[in-house]
C-alpha cells in the first residue's frame, strides 16, 4: 500500500546533521521562498503586505503553478548548504518547470535575480516588480524560461529533465546536476527510459546527476502512478534502473529538514566517493548512483482544505491555489492569512530585503546555482577544432561519372573532429551510426558503454568506458543528451534514420523555441548549433518499406522561427563536407542535413562545391545547354537522390530532343527559396527570377513532400509554372526506381512531365514521350521479375553531351 | 554480471511438462519454422532444396531480418500447445516486427496463410511463391505488415507493442495477447513507460497481456541495455514495474523446450487464476501479472561463427545472416549446409506439405493465432450507439450573440455515447480530460485506476476500478492503447492539448500508414476511425506561454494519404457536435478535430450547423453584405478563435466603410481547399471560385501556421490574392489580443490588411485605417498595464448590421 505524504519524516538516512538554529534558519529561508512564490502568483502591489490585502493588489488574471513549488524549493535550499560545505559546482534542473516560482524565488533570494535584472532589486519596489512581471504581459513566462537565471531546461513540455541533466554532466567531471523529476513527468516515455542513462556515464570523465523524484502525488487532475504503488515496488523499480534510491517522506517541517539535509549529504558523499575511487584507480565502473525519492504533499505549506475541498495534498493545489481570491471576500482573507503566516516582516524586514542571517544560507558568487555559468553554456563554449574540410575532398574529375560514398567520406572528416575535440564534442545516435556508414568515427572515439561486457564485443563491438559516441535505442534520450550537452557549452551532432526523426518532432520544436527566446535575453550567450544529420532516407527503403518512408520532418522544422532553423540537402559528397563544416561552425541554430548513405554519383569538385553551397543554390552549367539564351524548361532539384534522377531526366531530354534548351538548377539550402523578407537566407525576387525564370516551366524534383516547395515559393512570380515532384506517400518494399515511379520522381516521369509542359514542341516530342513511357514500363517489369532495377539504371552516369 | 545466453536452460520454473516425443515434435516444428524463415530471406526457387543450392535460386537482393526469428517462433510454437490445452483465445503481437519471417512462417505452418492467399499453398509451388514474395517487388514487406494474417502491429517503428497489446485486451475479458518485446524496442521511451499499463487493467472486465521480453542481446550494431545488467537489477526492474518476471535463459534445445513450455503454462495458469479470483469475488485488484524474460542467442539456431566473426549470439546476425551468399561460393555452401541441417525433407516431405504429425501441434480454426478475428478487428466491430446529436443543440437565436462553452456541450454528447456503449467505447487522454472541460463524461464512465486509493480521491477524484476513461501522463501510451483498442474492433477517441500532440507525430504517422495499406489488403475489414480532439489551442496560452503554442500537427497529418486523413475546425458548438458525430460514425480514418475549450460566441443553430458542416465550408450570408453582387473583399477564416476575430474585423470594416461589399467565408473541413483530384473532399475549381472568387482579395484567418493554406491552395486561380494570417511562431504569456496582434490575426490587423489590399478605396479608407491602428495600440497598452484585454474586446458580439 502506498504511503501517505503527511506526518513526521520517514527516511532511509537517519542522521540528524542540523542544529536547532540551523533548522530554524533553514525553515525561515524556506518560508521566504514560499512567500515569494505566492507573491508571484497573486500580487502586483503591496508586496510586503504592509497594508491589509485588497483586490486591487491582486493581478487581474491569476496565473501560475503552486503545486510543486514547496518540494522544489525545499530541495534547492537544502542543497545550498552542501554547496557551501563541500564547495560543489552545481546547477538545478527543474523537471516540473511549471513550478518556476520556486526557481525564481531562490534566484531572487540568493541575489542573482537582482544582479541580472537590476530593476528587480532586493527591496520593496524590486519585489513588487518581481511579483508583477511573473506571468504578466510584457513580463516573464510561468515556467523556467530562458529569462530564468540558472535554467537551461524550461520544463514546459515534460519528459526531458533527466536526459538534459546527463547531457550537462558528460565531460564536466566536477559538476553535480541536481535534478527535480516530477512524478507526472515520470510517467512519460522519454523520462521512463532516461533513467538508464547511468549506463553511459563514466565516473572518471563525467560529473554526476543527482535526481530527486518528487512524489508530489498528483498531476493536473489525477493521482500519479508512482505515488500509488507500494514502497517495495517503487524501491525495486529504481533499483532495477540501476540507482540506489533514498527515501524522504513526510510533511512535518523539523524532521523533514533533518531528513533532507542528511539524505542529500549522504548522496553527495557517495557521489564523491565513487568518483574518487574511479579516478584514483583509473578504473571506470558503474556504481549504483544515489537518488532521492522525496514524498511531500502537493501544495505543501498551503491550507489543507478550502471550503470542504482538499487543497494541500490533493490535485486542487496544482495551479492557483485559491482561484477566487479576486471575487470572494472570504477567499481573499484566507489568502492574506496564509501569506502572513510566513511572517514576511520577519524575513524581509521593513525594506523588503532578506535578513542578513538568512542571506548567509546561500552560497556565494558563481557557486549560487542560479549564477552557475554552466546554465548559460555559451559562456563556456570553446571553439571546436575543425580540420580543413577541403582536404577530405572526393576527387571529381568529371561531373556525374565518379561514384563514391558521400557519407563514408564525411565520416572521415568527423573522425578528425572527434580526435581533435576529445573533451567537448560528442556524436549521438539511436544505434544507427554504423548502419549510417559513419563507423570511421569509432577510430577516434568509441561508443560509451558502462554496461557489462561479453567476449564477443572484441569482435568489432567498438565499445569502451570512455568514448565519444553515444548510442541508445531512444531518439528521445539521444536528443535530450545532445541538447543538455550543447546548452551547457559543448558541441555535438545527432545522426538518425530520416523516418524516425519524427519521434522527436516535439523535442526539436521545444529546443527551437528555447533558442529563439534566448535571442531576446540579453545575457544569454549563444550556444553551439544542434546539428541533425538525417540519412537512411525515404528513397532507399527497399529494405524496410513503407513504415520507413517519411521525409516530413522538414515540414515541422520549416514552421519554426527563421532565426533558428536551417535545412540543407547537399547533392553530393563535397557539398556534404562543405555544408557539414558550415553547420559545425555555426551557433544557435537547429541545422538539419539530409543526405543518403549509399554510394552516389559525384558532381562537384571541392572548389565548385564550396561555391555552390555558399550560394545555396545555382545553375549547373555543365548540365545545362541554355547558355546565352532563355531556357525552354528548367529542371530543378533538391536532395541527392532527386538530383540524380533529375540529371538522368535531363540527359534523356537532351538525347531525344537536342534542340531543347534546358537549364539545370540544384538547391542545397532550402530556405533560399523563401522571399528574403521571410528568412535571412531568402533570395530576392530578382535573384529568384534570374535562376528559375518567371515564365518557363520548372520541373522541380524534391527530396521530401512536394508541397513544402509550394509553401516556400507561393509568393514567387511564375509559381504557377512550378511543378514539384516529391514523395507522395506512395511506397512499399520497392526497388529505387519503382518507388520513384510510384511518386513520379523517376527520370522518365520527370522527362515526360517536362514534355507535357511544352505542348508547342509537337510531333518529335510526342515520339520521345512514347519512347520514355516504354522505357519506364520495361524497367518496371524488369524490377518486378528480377527483384532489382536494371543494370543501366543502377549504373547510370552523366553522358557529357 | 550479465548472464550468457548460451548453455542449458536456466529457468525460474522447473517443471518438465513435455514428453520426449513432444519435445522432438516441437523441435521439428520449430525447425520447420526456421527453415521457412531462411527460405524467405534467400530463395526464389528450389524451395525444398531438392537440387543442390545455386546462385540462381537466390533472390537478386537479399533482404530481411534473421536475428529475432528463432526467439519469436519458439515462443509462438510453445504457446500453441497451451492454446490447445486450455482453449485460449489469443493473438500474437510481434514487437520486433522486423522479424516478420517468424510470424509469417507460423501462419504458413498452421495453414492460415494458404487459406488467406490460396496461391501460397501448402506444397512445393506454394512454398516457392511464399518465399519469393517476401521482401520482393510486388510482394509483401519485411515486417509484420497488414498483409500478415494475425498481425495488428507492424513493428516497423519500435516502441508500441505493449501499449498496443493492452489496447487489444481492454474489454476483451477472454483474450490473452502474447506480446514479444524486443530488447532493442525496450530501450525506447514509449515502451519503457508502457509497462505501467497494468495499473489500468481490470481483471474482471479485461483480458490479459502476456509479455515475453526477448533478451536477444543485440540491436543493429550494439548490445542491448537490458541484456547487460545483472539478473538482480533486471528482476527488480520488472518487479518495480509491477510484474512477476519468470526467466527462461539458454540455448540448449531440449532443456529450453521444457523450460519454455513449463513457464508459459505457469503464466497462463496464473493469469486464469487471478481472473477467476476477481471474477468470482466481483472484486477487482491489481495482481503482479506474470511475464517472461526469454534470453536466447541472437540468430539462435544459426552458425556460431562465420569466417572468424561471431554470427549467432552477436549483432552480425541481425539481418541477412550470410550476406555474401550470392558472390562467395563458400558462403553459398555454408548456407546450403545450414538450411539442410533442418532436414526439410523430413519436415515437409516430397510434396512440400508439413507432415501430419507436426500439423497436429497447431491449434485449429479461429484458435490459430494468425486466424484470430481480433487481429482483423473490423470483423468484430459493433455499431456505436450514438444519440441524436441534434438534441444537444446550443440554442442560438441570433448569430454571434450567445456565448457558450462548445466543449462542455460536446462533453454531454460524449457522455451519452459512453453511457450507451459501455463495452466498446473508451476515451483516452494524458491527464487533460478535465482540464479540457470534458469532465461530464465521468458521469457515465469514471477514470480507470488500479493503483492504490487515498481518502482524498472521494473529493472529486472520479477514479474507479471499472471505468471508461483512460488517463496516464503519456501521450504515447494513450495513443498506443487507443490504436490497439480500435484495431481489435472497438471505438474510441483521444483528447489532448494541441501543442503536445506533436509528441505522437510519429505514432499517428505509422497508424495512417497501417490504415492506408489495409485498404490494399482485400480481407482486412475496416476499423473505427482514430479520432483526435485537440484543444487547449495555441490562441489561448496566456497561462503557459510559448512552449504551449504549436498548431503544426495539422501539417504532419496533411502529408499523409488523402484516403485516410480528415481535418475539421468547427467554428462553434453546434458545428463541433455535427463534426464529432460524423467522425465517430466514420471508419478507417484519422480524424483530427481542433476546437478551443473556452467559452465562445455561437453562430449557427443546429440546422445551419449541419448544412455548413455537410458542405465543409460556405459563405455566411448573415455576416456578408455582398448579396447579389461581387464582393470587394472576402473575409475567410478557419478555426474558432480565428473566426471570432475575422467576424470582428468584418464588423469593424462594415462600421467604418459601410459601402464596402464584404463576403464572409468559413471553412470547417480543411481538405475542401485542395483540388478534388488530390483529395476526395476537395472542391472543383468552379466551386472554389464561386466562393473565394478568382480576382478579389481574400483575407484568410487560419488557426494554424498560415503556410498550410498556401500549400493546399497553390493550384487555385486567384491564389496570389489570398493573404493568409495564422500563427507565425510569435508568442509569450500574452493576452489573447496581444498574441493575435503579434501574429497579425487580430481584428484590427485583419481589417487593416483588407484595406491595404484595396488601394482604390481612397481617403475614407485611410482615415478608417488610422482609426483601427489607434484602437489596436490602445488595446495593447491596456493589456500591458492591466494584465488583461479590455472588456469590449473580451465581450465583443456581432453587431447585426
What would the pLDDT profile of A235-292 be if each residue is shown by its tens digit? 999 999 999 999 999 999 999 999 999 999 999 999 999 999 999 999 999 999 999 9
Q: Is B552 touching A (CB cutoff 8 A)?
A: yes
User: Do residues A764 and A755 touch, judged by C-beta distance below 8 A?
Assistant: no
Which of A235, A239, A506 is closest, CB to CB, to B503? A506
Domain end (from A313, A341, A372): A372
Chain A residues with CB inside 8 Å of B561's CB? 729
Q: Do A236 and B234 touch (CB under 8 A)?
A: no
Most B-contacting residue of A222, A251, A305, A783 (CB-CB within 10 A), to test interface? A222
Q: Do B187 and A473 touch (CB under 8 A)?
A: yes
pLDDT confidence of A629, banded at 50, 70, 90? Answer: confident
User: Do residues B121 and B114 touch, judged by C-beta distance below 8 A?
Assistant: yes
Strand A447-448's sheet: what is its strand order? A463-464, A447-448, A469-471, A425-429, A491-497, A530-535, A590-594, A565-568
Per-residue confidence (pLDDT) for residue B462, from 0 to 100: 96
C-alpha cell of A358? 538568512
C-alpha cell of B18? 513435455
Asked whether residue B622 falls in the same domain as residue B766, the answer is yes
Per-residue confidence (pLDDT) for residue B543, from 0 to 100: 80
Per-residue confidence (pLDDT) for residue B794, from 0 to 100: 87
Q: Is B718 touching A (CB cutoff 8 A)?
A: no
Asked whether residue B508 falls in the same domain as residue B481, the answer is yes
3-state secondary structure of B364: coil
Q: Name the β-bridge partners of A214.
A: A182, A294
Per-residue confidence (pLDDT) for residue B97, from 0 to 100: 84
Answer whether residue B500 is part of any domain: yes
Asked whether residue B693 falls in the same domain as residue B783, the answer is yes
User: Do residues B12 and B319 touch, judged by C-beta distance below 8 A?
Assistant: no
Q: Using CA atoms, how far apart are residues A101 and A103, in angstroms rounded to an integer?
A: 5
Look at A373 and A97; give whichever has higher pLDDT. Answer: A373
pLDDT confidence of B544, banded at 50, 70, 90? Answer: confident
Q: Is B138 touching A (CB cutoff 8 A)?
A: yes
Interface of A with B in 472-531 (CB under 8 A): 472-477, 499-500, 502-503, 505-506, 509-510, 513, 516-517
Q: Using CA atoms, how far apart are residues A541 and A552, in angstroms rounded to an integer?
A: 15
Q: Is B491 left (phi over 0), alpha (psi -120 to 50) or beta?
A: beta
What would the pLDDT profile of B220-253 be if each residue is shown by its tens digit? 999 999 999 999 999 999 999 999 999 999 999 9
Nearest to B643 by CA among B692, B697, B604: B604
User: Do residues B37 and B316 touch, judged by C-beta distance below 8 A?
Assistant: no
Q: Is B317 touching A (CB cutoff 8 A)?
A: no
Q: What is the CATH number of the domain that holds B727?
A: 3.40.50.920
Asked whether residue B349 falls in the same domain as residue B400, the answer is no
Q: What is the CATH number of the domain that holds B419?
A: 3.40.50.970
Q: Is A386 touching B (CB cutoff 8 A)?
A: no
- Find the residue in A nearest to B231 (Cα): A240
Asked whether residue A408 falls in the same domain as residue A545, the answer is yes
Residue B360 pLDDT exceeds 80:
yes
Residue A542 pLDDT exceeds 90:
no
**ipTM passes above 0.90:** yes
Asked whether residue A524 falls in the same domain as residue A649, the answer is no
Answer whether residue A412 is part of any domain: yes
CA-to-CA separations, A417 to A110, A380, A420, A486, B578, in angstroms, rounded: 40, 19, 5, 16, 59
Nearest to B712 by CA among B729, B728, B724: B724
Q: Do B550 and A220 touch (CB under 8 A)?
A: no
Answer whether residue B375 is part of any domain: no
Domain end (from A347, A372, A397): A372
Rg over CA atoms, chain B: 30
- Find the residue in B nearest to A190 (Cα): B189
**Count of helices and strands (H, E) across chain A:** 25, 23
Asked whether residue B202 falls in the same domain as residue B232, the answer is yes
pLDDT confidence of B119, banded at 50, 70, 90? Answer: very high
Region B449-471: mean pLDDT is 96
pLDDT confidence of A801, banded at 50, 70, 90? Answer: confident
User: Do residues A487 and A168 touch, judged by C-beta distance below 8 A?
Assistant: yes
Answer whether residue A382 is part of any domain: no
Please, is B627 exposed, middle or buried when counting C-beta atoms within 10 Å of its C-beta (0-12, 13-18, 19+)? exposed
pLDDT confidence of B759, banded at 50, 70, 90? Answer: very high
pLDDT confidence of B445, banded at 50, 70, 90? Answer: very high
Answer whether residue A607 is part of any domain: no
Question: Would you say the C-alpha torsion A653, A655, A660, A664 has a positive or negative sign?
Answer: positive
Asked whether residue A209 falls in the same domain as residue A327, the answer is yes
Q: Using CA atoms, how far apart are residues A170 and A202, in angstroms rounded to an integer?
A: 8
Answer whether residue A605 is part of any domain: no
Place of cell 490562441: B539
Domain that holds residue B182: 10-361
- Find the residue in B nearest to A1 (Cα): B452
Answer whether residue A212 is part of any domain: yes
Q: Using CA atoms, how far apart are residues A616 and B219, in angstroms rounded to an integer?
A: 38
Asked whether residue B72 falls in the same domain as residue B160, the answer is yes
Chain A residues with CB inside 8 Å of B222's CB? 431, 447, 449, 463, 471, 473
Asked whether residue B514 falls in the same domain as residue B438, the answer is yes
**Count of helices and strands (H, E) across chain B:** 25, 23
Residue A687, C-beta contacts closer than 8 angstroms, at least 6 positions apart: none
What would the pLDDT profile of B482-532 be if each residue is shown by its tens digit? 999 999 999 999 999 999 999 999 999 999 999 999 999 999 999 999 999
pLDDT confidence of A97, banded at 50, 70, 90? Answer: confident
Residue A417 pLDDT exceeds 90:
yes
Region A395-418: mean pLDDT is 96
Asked whether residue B400 falls in the same domain as residue B344, the answer is no
Q: Using CA atoms, how far apart are residues A139 and B223, in angstroms rounded to an integer?
A: 49
Which of A224, A242, A561 is closest, CB to CB, to B229? A242
Q: What is the mean pLDDT of chain B?
A: 96
Asked whether residue B442 falls in the same domain as residue B513, the answer is yes
Per-residue confidence (pLDDT) for residue B134, from 0 to 100: 97
3-state secondary structure of B528: strand
Residue A1 pLDDT exceeds 80:
no
Per-residue confidence (pLDDT) for residue A441, from 0 to 100: 97
Q: Considering chain A, what percentage of its residues have pLDDT values greater than 90? A: 96
Q: Rounding to the nearest 10 degrees, give the CA dihedral for residues A604, A609, A613, A619.
A: -40
Region A615-634: mean pLDDT is 95
Q: Using CA atoms, how far apart are residues B297 and B302, in angstroms rounded to an integer?
A: 9
Per-residue confidence (pLDDT) for residue B779, from 0 to 100: 95
Most A-contacting residue of B40, B221, B722 (CB-CB within 10 A), to test interface? B221
Residue B801 pLDDT exceeds 80:
no
Residue B374 pLDDT exceeds 80:
yes
pLDDT confidence of A226, banded at 50, 70, 90? Answer: very high
Strand pairing category for B565-568 and B290-295? unpaired
Which of B137, B223, B552 is closest, CB to CB, to A787? B137
Domain end (from B575, B600, B625): B600
Q: How many structural domains comprise chain B?
A: 3
User: Do residues A738 and B137 touch, judged by C-beta distance below 8 A?
Assistant: yes
Region A704-722: mean pLDDT is 94
Q: Do A194 and B191 touch (CB under 8 A)?
A: no
Per-residue confidence (pLDDT) for residue A541, from 0 to 100: 84
Nearest to B526 by CA among B374, B366, B376: B376
Per-residue confidence (pLDDT) for residue A64, from 0 to 100: 94
Q: Rounding to the nearest 10 degrees, give the CA dihedral for residues B78, B81, B84, B86.
A: -80
Per-residue confidence (pLDDT) for residue A544, from 0 to 100: 85
Per-residue confidence (pLDDT) for residue B698, from 0 to 100: 98
- Find the residue in B nearest to A6 (Cα): B454
Region B670-696: mean pLDDT is 95
pLDDT confidence of A519, banded at 50, 70, 90? Answer: very high
User: Do residues B171 and B208 touch, judged by C-beta distance below 8 A?
Assistant: no
Q: What is the mean pLDDT of chain A?
A: 96
3-state secondary structure of B223: strand
C-alpha cell of B89? 483465445
Q: Do B710 and A714 touch (CB under 8 A)?
A: yes
DSSP class of A292: E
Per-residue confidence (pLDDT) for residue B629, from 0 to 100: 86
Amino acid at each position: 500500500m502506498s504511503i501517505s505524504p503527511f506526518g513526521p519524516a520517514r527516511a532511509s538516512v537517519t542522521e540528524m546533521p542540523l542544529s536547532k538554529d540551523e533548522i530554524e534558519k533553514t525553515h525561515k529561508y524556506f518560508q521566504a521562498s514560499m512567500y515569494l512564490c505566492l507573491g508571484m502568483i497573486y500580487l502586483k502591489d503591496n508586496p510586503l503586505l504592509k497594508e491589509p490585502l485588497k483586490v486591487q493588489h491582486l493581478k487581474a488574471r491569476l496565473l501560475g503553478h503552486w503545486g510543486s513549488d514547496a518540494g522544489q524549493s525545499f530541495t534547492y535550499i537544502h542543497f545550498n548548504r552542501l554547496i557551501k560545505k563541500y564547495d560543489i559546482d552545481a546547477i538545478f534542473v527543474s523537471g516540473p518547470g511549471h513550478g518556476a516560482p520556486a526557481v525564481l524565488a531562490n534566484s531572487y533570494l540568493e541575489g542573482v535575480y537582482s544582479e541580472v535584472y537590476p530593476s528587480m532589486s532586493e527591496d520593496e519596489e524590486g519585489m513588487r516588480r518581481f511579483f508583477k512581471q511573473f506571468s504578466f504581459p510584457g513580463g516573464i513566462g510561468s515556467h523556467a524560461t530562458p529569462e530564468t537565471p540558472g535554467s537551461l531546461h524550461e520544463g514546459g513540455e515534460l519528459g526531458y529533465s533527466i536526459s538534459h541533466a546527463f547531457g550537462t554532466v558528460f565531460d564536466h567531471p566536477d559538476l553535480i546536476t541536481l535534478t527535480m523529476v516530477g512524478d507526472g513527468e515520470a510517467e512519460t516515455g522519454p523520462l521512463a527510459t532516461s533513467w538508464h542513462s547511468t549506463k553511459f556515464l563514466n565516473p572518471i570523465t563525467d560529473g554526476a546527476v543527482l535526481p530527486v523524484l518528487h512524489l508530489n502525488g498528483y498531476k493536473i487532475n489525477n493521482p500519479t502512478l508512482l505515488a500509488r504503488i507500494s514502497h517495495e515496488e517503487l524501491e525495486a523499480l529504481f533499483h532495477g534502473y540501476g540507482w540506489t534510491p533514498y527515501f524522504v517522506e513526510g510533511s512535518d517541517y523539523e524532521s523533514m529538514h533533518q531528513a533532507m539535509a542528511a539524505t542529500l549529504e549522504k548522496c553527495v558523499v557517495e557521489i564523491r566517493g565513487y568518483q574518487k575511487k574511479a579516478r584514483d584507480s583509473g578504473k571506470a565502473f558503474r556504481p549504483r548512483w544515489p537518488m532521492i525519492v522525496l514524498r511531500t504533499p502537493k501544495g505543501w505549506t498551503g491550507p489543507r482544505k478550502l471550503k470542504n475541498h482538499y487543497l494541500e495534498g490533493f490535485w486542487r493545489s496544482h495551479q492557483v491555489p485559491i482561484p477566487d481570491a479576486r471575487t470572494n471576500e472570504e477567499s481573499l482573507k484566507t489568502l492574506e492569512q496564509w501569506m502572513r503566516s510566513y511572517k514576511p516582516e520577519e524575513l524581509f524586514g521593513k525594506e523588503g530585503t532578506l535578513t542578513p542571517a538568512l542571506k548567509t544560507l546561500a552560497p556565494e558568487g558563481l557557486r549560487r546555482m542560479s549564477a552557475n555559468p554552466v546554465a548559460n553554456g555559451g559562456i563556456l563554449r570553446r571553439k571546436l577544432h575543425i580540420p580543413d574540410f577541403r582536404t577530405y575532398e572526393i576527387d571529381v574529375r568529371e561531373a556525374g561519372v565518379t561514384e563514391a560514398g558521400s557519407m563514408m567520406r564525411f565520416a572521415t572528416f568527423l573522425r578528425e573532429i572527434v580526435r581533435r575535440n576529445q573533451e567537448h564534442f560528442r556524436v549521438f545516435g539511436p544505434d544507427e551510426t554504423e548502419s549510417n556508414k559513419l563507423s570511421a568515427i569509432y577510430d577516434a572515439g568509441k561508443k560509451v558503454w558502462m554496461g557489462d561486457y561479453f567476449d564477443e564485443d572484441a569482435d568489432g563491438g567498438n565499445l569502451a568506458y570512455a568514448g565519444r559516441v553515444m548510442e541508445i535505442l531512444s531518439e528521445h534520450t539521444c536528443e535530450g543528451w545532445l541538447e543538455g550537452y550543447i546548452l551547457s557549452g559543448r558541441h555535438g551532432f545527432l545522426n538518425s534514420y530520416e523516418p524516425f526523426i519524427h519521434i522527436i518532432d516535439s523535442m526539436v520544436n521545444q529546443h527551437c523555441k528555447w533558442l529563439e527566446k534566448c535571442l531576446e535575453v540579453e545575457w544569454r550567450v549563444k550556444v553551439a548549433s544542434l546539428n541533425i544529420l538525417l540519412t537512411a532516407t525515404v528513397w532507399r527503403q527497399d529494405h524496410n518499406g513503407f513504415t520507413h518512408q517519411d521525409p516530413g520532418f522538414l515540414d515541422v522544422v520549416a514552421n519554426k522561427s527563421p532565426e533558428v532553423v536551417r535545412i540543407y540537402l547537399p547533392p553530393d559528397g563535397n557539398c556534404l563536407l562543405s555544408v557539414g563544416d558550415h553547420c559545425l561552425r555555426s551557433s544557435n541554430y537547429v541545422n538539419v542535413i539530409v543526405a543518403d548513405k549509399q554510394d552516389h554519383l559525384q558532381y562537384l569538385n571541392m572548389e565548385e562545391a564550396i561555391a555552390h553551397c555558399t550560394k545555396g543554390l545555382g545553375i549547373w552549367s555543365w548540365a545545362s545547354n541554355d547558355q546565352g539564351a532563355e531556357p525552354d524548361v528548367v529542371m530543378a532539384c533538391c536532395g541527392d537522390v532527386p538530383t540524380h534522377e533529375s540529371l538522368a531526366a535531363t540527359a534523356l531530354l537532351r538525347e531525344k530532343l537536342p534542340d531543347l534548351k534546358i537549364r539545370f538548377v540544384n538547391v542545397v539550402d532550402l530556405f533560399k527559396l523563401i522571399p528574403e523578407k521571410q528568412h535571412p537566407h531568402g533570395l530576392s525576387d530578382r535573384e529568384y527570377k534570374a535562376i528559375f525564370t518567371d515564365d518557363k516551366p520548372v520541373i522541380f524534383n524534391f527530396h521530401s513532400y512536394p508541397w513544402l516547395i509550394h509553401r516556400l515559393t507561393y509568393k514567387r512570380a511564375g509559381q504557377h509554372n512550378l511543378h514539384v515532384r516529391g514523395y507522395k506517400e506512395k511506397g512499399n518494399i520497392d526497388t529505387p526506381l519503382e518507388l520513384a515511379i510510384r511518386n513520379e520522381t523517376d527520370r522518365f516521369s520527370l522527362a515526360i512531365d517536362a514534355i507535357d509542359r511544352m505542348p508547342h514542341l509537337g510531333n518529335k516530342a510526342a515520339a520521345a514521350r512514347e519512347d520514355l513511357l516504354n522505357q519506364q514500363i520495361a524497367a518496371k517489369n524488369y524490377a518486378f521479375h528480377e527483384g532489382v532495377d536494371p543494370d543501366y539504371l543502377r549504373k547510370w552516369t552523366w553522358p557529357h553531351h
